[in-house]
Amino acid sequence: MSEQRRTGEAAQDVSTRTARGRLAGVPVVIVNNFPGPGMGGGEVQLLPVVAALLDEGARVTIVAPPGSGFAARTEAMGTHAVRAPMSVRRVRAAVAALRAILAQGAPPQGRRPVLVGTGYFTNLLVRLARGVTAHGPAVANVVAVVPGASRLEGGGVAALAVRRFVDAATRARVDRFIAVSEAVAVRLLADGADPTRVAVVLNGVDFAALDEAAARQDGVPPLGEGRVVACIARLEPVKGVEHFVRAAALVDGATFVVAGTGSLEARLREIALAQRGGSRVEFLGSVPSAAALMARADVVVVPSLSEAFGLVAAEAMALGRPVVATRVGGLPEVVVDGQTGLLVEPNDSPAVANAVRRLLDDSGLAARLGAAGRAHARERFDARRMAAEYVGLVDELSVEPESAES
């Protein structure tokens, strides 16, 4: 079912939808603090999950900051959206808002509400909203970042220590950690999470929407007739884009394209400007359609220093593009080295350059990896599979413990 059809259906008869389905009438509260009118990769992942929960009759409430594009998008699908403060200074107000929402409308007999956090801060909020009582709402924490990755974003030692302390002190309040890759699950277990409370749900791709966006070629400026090597990422330390830019100086005859914005943009431009020889580097800033750019690229590079899953790699593979990615986090679960793409070590510009050069110089290898990657991605990373797994977890968590034991 298309999202357009879901949206129309929701607008016409939301009450009817909540009267049927395996989650009929079950309150599901999803807390998300992505700011502004846009959406990040995590929010895009949540859209098919929200649609599937609505299709199964859940009463979905989205709690997000004022001006949230994610809240507006899901509200059009049939959710109830609540704008609430989302800052460290206003934690008490956010927790109070969550508890007020939970107090509205009882769930069906034998069921309980499900609170879902979608990132470190919102995961903490839903833990606090639950409190320390044995009964109450079920709490799920979506973990879409490898634990400890914040140190790569410049987090200080003291701040990291506080994060670890707060996490350990409230971890017992979580009924299910939802890891987006096996790599994330391994780190959660290493950090002391209860193995019976950790589930892996691989991220998914909406292939129809991806293909449509790629075909439109919206917002991609002319890049010439030569070969294009693309990197789509936030321009922050953890994404390793500096190694992509430096690799351009070691590869001749291509255009290295950087799409994204962030705190390192000025520094990356300086590096590119200072380089002599090799391929030229173009900075596109934020692009309307990453899919359109990937479809235009001869090679897509994901040079991350940490990556929980690697959605850009999965989408590029789904479009049949050969991928070069770093051997970190969940990326080896997405890119099978030598079969569906090429893996290199992180922090290694020459390795990135060698892998890119290998694909540009061997069109047969690039075509084989692209075709195999497309088949692999479309078999493993379907958004419908992901959404169905989330629905199954919410269904399980919403059963009152007494009902489960009887």
Neighbours of 399 (CB within 10 A): 15
DSSP E strand stretches across 75-197: 80-83, 114-117, 138-143, 176-179
Q: Among 108, 52, 54, which Cα is nearest to 81's?
A: 54
Distance in angstroms (rounded) separating the CA atoms of residues 172 and 325: 35
Separation between Cα atoms, residue 53 and residue 109, nearest integer Å: 19
Out of 141-150, 243-252, 346-355, least confident range: 141-150
* Cα 231 from Cα 283, distance rounded (Å): 10
Contact criterion met (CB below 8 Å) for 383 and 211: no
Task: Say how many C-beta atoms besides its own lie within 10 A of residue 400's C-beta.
Answer: 15
DSSP 168-228: HHHGGG-SEEEESSHHHHHHHHHTT--GGGEEE----B-HHHHHHHHHHTTTPPP--SSEE
CB neighbour class for 24 (10 Å; exposed up to 12, middle 13-18, buried from 19): middle
> What is residue 149's predicted lDDT score, i.e. its pLDDT?
61
Mean pLDDT of all residues belonging to the chain? 90
Helices and strands in the chain, H and E counts: 17, 13
Write out the two tokens for 182: 């096996």
**Where do the domains of the chain lie, and which CATH numbers do they carry?**
3-204+383-401 (3.40.50.2000), 209-380 (3.40.50.2000)
Q: What is the pTM of this model?
A: 0.89
Are the C-beta atoms of 311 and 41 separated by less than 8 Å?
Answer: yes
pLDDT at 4: 46
Amino acid at 223: L
Q: Are 207 and 318 in contact (CB under 8 A)?
A: yes
Is residue 341 helix, strand or coil? Answer: strand
| Nearest-angstrom CA–CA distance, 31 and 70 | 11
Contact present, 52 and 22 (Cβ < 8 Å):
no
Taking only the tens place, the pLDDT of each residue in 159-179 is 677 778 788 889 999 999 999
342-344 vs 323-326, strand pairing mode: parallel
Give the model confidence (pLDDT) of 183-236 as tens digits.
999 999 999 999 999 999 999 999 999 999 999 877 778 887 789 999 999 999
- Provide the token pair at 299: 């090679």
Asked if residues 334 and 313 have their Cβ atoms less than 8 Å apart, the reply is yes
Q: Quickly state the pLDDT bin for 155 (edges 50, 70, 90).
A: low
At 168 the pLDDT is 81
Name residue 281's beta-bridge partners.
Answer: 256
DSSP-derived 3-state class of residue 373: helix
Q: How far apart are CA 34 and CA 66, in angstroms?
A: 10
Helix pair 311-318, 207-216: axis angle to 10 deg: 70
Strands 176-179 and 198-200: parallel
Region 243-248: what's the mean pLDDT? 98
pLDDT for 317 equals: 98
Mean local confidence (pLDDT), 387-399: 98
